[in-house]
Structure 1
Amino acid sequence: MLPPSRRDFVSLTVSESGSYTNSKQWRRQSCWRKWKRLSRLQRSLILFTLMLLLVCGIATSPTLIRHWRGEIRLEAVREAFRHAWKGYKNFAWGHDELKPISKSYGEWFGLGLTLIDALDTMWILGLKEEFAEARQWVAKELSFDKNVDVNLFESTIRILGGLLSTYHLTGDSLFLEKAKDIGSRLMPAFSTASKIPYSDVNIGKGTAHSPQWTSDSTVAEVTSIQLEFRDLSRLTGDPKYKLAVMEVMKRVHKLNGKQDGLVPMFINTNNGLFTHQGIYTLGARADSYYEYLLKQWIQGNKTEKELLDDYLQAVEGVKKNLLKKSTPSSLTFVGELSHGHFSPKMDHLVCFLPGTLALGAHYGLPADHMELAKQLIETCYQMYAQMETGLSPEIAYFNTHEGSTQDVDVKIADRHNLLRPETVESLFYLYRFTKDKKYQQWGWEILQNFNKYTRVPTGGYTSINNVCDPASPIPRDKMESFFLGETLKYFYLLFSDDPNLISLDKYVFNTEAHPLPIWPQAE
């Protein structure tokens, strides 16, 4: 038997413990009974108040707001892609381009251009089901053994580039084998006395030729295939692809006819000389020459000094000859030069330049390149914002005379919008390097306007004829393959805050937005 003092202690402890437990149970039961006595309306009001307090608490968190906004925007791009893919799958499966209004398709080369262009976009967006069905088509249906003429440049950047990129991202050898096939079939284009390639190749017959109306190729086309063929040589171990395209660069480097690093638009495949000299533009037929000077230097791990020198000289040539300010907003724009006469004409295609300048600055080129990039992306955004639909025309003319009331004029023939990617591309680069949220906001506005004026309810998006008339933008009934290959991809990368999603320290994008790896050393 325990001593009294010990027995009292034990008794007291048990009593208090039991009392505390009973008290908690009583309080829980009491609260539950009180809750049950409330009317349904009272309970609903209390729950609503608690939810409101919770939501308000979350809403005041800037981090959560940014995260939610980012996820909403990323999902909006995925939804836009699915909608475009729905139209392509239903009405144009396996063909080159969707005609969403007429629910039909158009052919250019007859090689499933939209599907191949979109492969790496689907992979990046995480659209596994869509990617799997596209891969199956590539495996079972894609054949290059066809008696068909293809454009060397377009098939290189869209088909070869798309297959190479998808191979690098997935590691799936199917895409490398298809890339080898089309790459080898394009090589007859380089069988010219001048080593400047023909513009057209018959991939079935193994023959190549210039267009019927000229013996010229455009400078952009012959100097914007290098990233892809260089990569193909690296993957196959066969130097012939790289040697062919680098011979083109060497010859263009030595040519007369440049003005402060700026090149004419055409080059003759017979004698290898520039033609139509005296006209200089960063728009159509010359644009990606400048882009690929920088990107080849980056791809080759910054060892090919000749490419860098040509790029730096060209940027100085742009600043000296083509840059002007508009009136009344003093927007910096890139015009054109024709036999010494300046034109304030700027193609939407020129809006690749802010992104390219920013990329160069990221790789250690002069800081004023980044400042110019920021000025030019503001101009490219205004080409959208100052239009009644919020979508850019294909070509804009900038006012430079005192007393002008608006910066941008658009001619009737230039009012179309083809769903082009260049401005979104540059917004992506500027956001990736500066983290300035305004670039994401500008991109969001543009995406919303694409949805408002170019989205077709039954599936797909269409180019339009008139960005100046919201009531009647006039659909063109065509969805270019680059809308899936480039535009939506750059939207997604713009809205992502993950710097490792296609790191710009590991990949360089070809001019069709297909990422190719930067070489670990000069090769």
Structure 2
Amino acid sequence: MHHVFISSSPASWSALTNYGFLTSWRLALVVFALLSLLAGTGAASKVFENAFDRWSSQYKMFTESDMLNTRKAAHDMFTFGYDNYMKYAYPLDELDPINCLGRGPDYANPSNININDVLGDYSLTLVDVLDTLAIMRNRSEFHRAVNLVIENVSFEKDITVQVFEATIRVLGSLLSAHLILTDPNRLLGDFRMEGYNNELLTMAHDLAARLLPAFENTRTGLPHPRVNLMYGVPWNTVNETCTAGAGSLLLEFGVLSRLLGDPTFEGLARRTNQRLWSLRDKDTGLLGTVVNIQTGEWQGLSSGLGAGVDSFYEYLLKAYILFGDENDYRMFNESHSLIWEHLRRGRVHCNAGIGDPPLYVNVHMRDGTTANTWIDALQASFPGVLILNGDLDEAICQHALYYSIWKKYGAIPERFNWHLKAPDVTFYPLRPEFAESTYLLYMSTRNPFYLHVGREIIASLNEHARVSCGYATVHDVHDKTLEDRMESFFLSETCKYLFLVRALLF
């Protein structure tokens, strides 16, 4: 979930606040062990002997000036990308930051789903950043952007989009901005706008209604992955969906239902989750990555925490936090236990210092055997999920793994082969997952290490990805060659989480 504001928390949060400040040496041992492991040097005793001294000199101090400078750097990063999007790309969906051009759907090539799944000719980047503008405290620009969206964005488009992407990027952002505008408690500040008459909520309702045909004419009740915003499900659509795509709708659909007083949307999302849950393997209890929506048969038998499955688990936990439905938490806890049993490799206790550091691998859903030797960039969100569940030590360990990869490459490659200790897929599209986990870990521990990590991420992005008009996708993390694309989530999420990695929310 990328947008909808969570204002309540489960009891697990008390575990975090009672945990206190982590001692630096424990975190130092984890980080330096993983760095040495990825460098191929092994966990030599000298590394551990000198870990505390190295930790103290490198990470102990983070002054108020450092904090303000880092916050400003994240703000400047966002402003540079946003201003150039508005100058060179708006009202198109995305900015091509190298050539300073706008990008919309690829109408000439309908099979180009990498573009067309996301871009819907509805000023995607502007819609996606609405809540980020508010978090950045830019009240005037937030109001201007809201007015531009209300006056110019329409979903009456002969365009086919992915249900999941339209939900998390567009529906979620419209709902978040509406909640910010109408929040009686003004948790983010006073963003009331004269003349606002719930237009963003009306637009969210319109978009969600256009997504509803995805749930029709499937024998399992699982939704089609794509719909045409004017004509419903295309005649030639595929009958397969990924677990994450179908099972990560509950937050946005649930908020919409509750704001409208109409249970339809939340009911469909919950029915989808229950149907996926019923299709788990009878022996392992695991979910696969791809399922046939007509037969219920699994087409992708790999089970992991990355692409294809990742946000299903995230949404179960966050839905419980937001709505308090015990069934969501029951499914998450059962999934968590099965993930620990079948996917986790390495020592039992993260900080034990004996054996290999823990790693969550991709396994065959039928028997739990290792399916391949890579993890992917989306899995970097899992430490944040662990934090929300109160699993602090495990979150620290998993974040340290991805930090060690970032330290080595200055980015997170899309796939990293943990056996070869090298990337399998080398591009990095400026994803937010690692930044989000860094933010959540700092907010739960107040350990200055995570402030340094945030600053390092910003420095790497400015060094390797900043170009003429924005920030470009890193094509290859080895040589830092670039691709001419700045996806909307870079501004709406990556910059937002980096801005929030600091001592106080405001």
Structure 2 unaligned regions, length at least 5:
1-60, 105-118, 183-195, 348-352
Query: Counterpart of 1:288?
Result: 311
SS at match of 1:410: strand
Query: Counterpart of 2:470?
Result: 460
Q: 1:410 aligns with which of 423, 430, 433?
A: 423
Query: Counterpart of 2:206?
Result: 181
1:250: Cα distance to partner? 1.8
1:328: Cα distance to partner? 12
Is 1:264 paired with 2:271?
no
SS at match of 2:389: helix
Query: Counterpart of 2:82?
Result: 85
Is 1:352 paired with 2:381?
yes
1:124: Cα distance to partner? 0.4
The 5 A counterparts of 1:503-522 are none
How far apart in 2 are the matches of 1:280 and 1:95?
36
1:330: Cα distance to partner? 3.9
1:255: Cα distance to partner? 2.1
How far apart in 1 are the matches of 2:252 and 2:406?
32
Q: 1:220 aligns with which of 229, 238, 244?
A: 244
Query: Counterpart of 2:215?
Result: 190
Query: Counterpart of 1:498?
Result: 504
1:246: Cα distance to partner? 1.0
1:159: Cα distance to partner? 0.4
Q: Structure 1 residues 329, 450: closer, same or farther in 2, change over 3 A?
A: farther
How far apart in 2 are the matches of 1:210 and 1:482?
30
SS at match of 2:332: helix
Q: 1:483 aligns with which of 490, 499, 506?
A: 490
Q: Structure 1 residues 79, 277: closer, same or farther in 2, change over 3 A?
A: closer
Structure possessing the higher radius of gyration over alpha carbons: 1
Query: Counterpart of 2:279?
Result: 255
- Could you tell me which amino acid in structure 1 is paired with residue 330 of structure 2? D
- Could you tell me which amino acid in structure 2 is paired with residue 375 of structure 1? C
Deviations 1:276-330 (A, max 9, x none): 25321211111111111111111112x323x222212222222222223499994
Query: Counterpart of 1:309?
Result: 330
Q: Structure 1 residues 476, 331: closer, same or farther in 2, change over 3 A?
A: farther
1:350: Cα distance to partner? 0.3
Structure 1 unaligned regions, length at least 5:
1-63, 362-368, 400-406, 502-523
Q: Structure 1 residues 133, 218: closer, same or farther in 2, change over 3 A?
A: same
| Contact in 2 for aligned 1:145/1:203 (Cα 8 Å) | yes
- Could you tell me which amino acid in structure 1 is paired with residue 501 of structure 2? L
How far apart in 1 are the matches of 2:300 and 2:282?
8
Deviations 1:14-33 (A, max 9, x none): xxxxxxxxxxxxxxxxxxxx
| Contact in 2 for aligned 1:199/1:211 (Cα 8 Å) | no
- Could you tell me which amino acid in structure 2 is paired with residue 348 of structure 1? A
1:477: Cα distance to partner? 0.4
Q: Of the two structures, which has the highest relative contact order with CA contacts closer than 8 Å and spacing of 6 or more?
A: 2
Q: 1:95 aligns with which of 92, 97, 109?
A: 92
Q: 1:151 aligns with which of 144, 156, 162?
A: 162
- Could you tell me which amino acid in structure 1 is paired with residue 201 of structure 2? L
Q: 2:392 aligns with which of 358, 370, 376?
A: 370
The 5 A counterparts of 1:46-195 are 66-107=63-104, 108-171=119-182, 172=196, 173-192=198-217, 193-195=219-221
How far apart in 2 are the matches of 1:398 and 1:324?
12
Question: How many pairs does the alignment contain?
Answer: 410
| Contact in 2 for aligned 1:418/1:463 (Cα 8 Å) | yes
Q: Structure 1 residues 153, 211: closer, same or farther in 2, change over 3 A?
A: farther
Is 1:231 paired with 2:266?
no
Compute the TM-score of the two structures, normalised by the length of structure 1: 0.74
1:260: Cα distance to partner? 4.0
- Could you tell me which amino acid in structure 2 is paired with residue 462 of structure 1? A
- Could you tell me which amino acid in structure 1 is paired with residue 423 of structure 2? V
Compute the TM-score of the two structures, normalised by the length of structure 2: 0.77
Q: Structure 1 residues 428, 82: closer, same or farther in 2, change over 3 A?
A: same
How far apart in 2 are the matches of 1:429 and 1:73?
17
| Contact in 2 for aligned 1:230/1:242 (Cα 8 Å) | yes
| Contact in 1 for aligned 2:280/2:286 (Cα 8 Å) | no
CA RMSD of aligned residues (A): 2.3
Deviations 1:139-158 (A, max 9, x none): 21111111111111000000
SS at match of 1:391: coil
- Could you tell me which amino acid in structure 2 is paired with residue 421 of structure 1? P
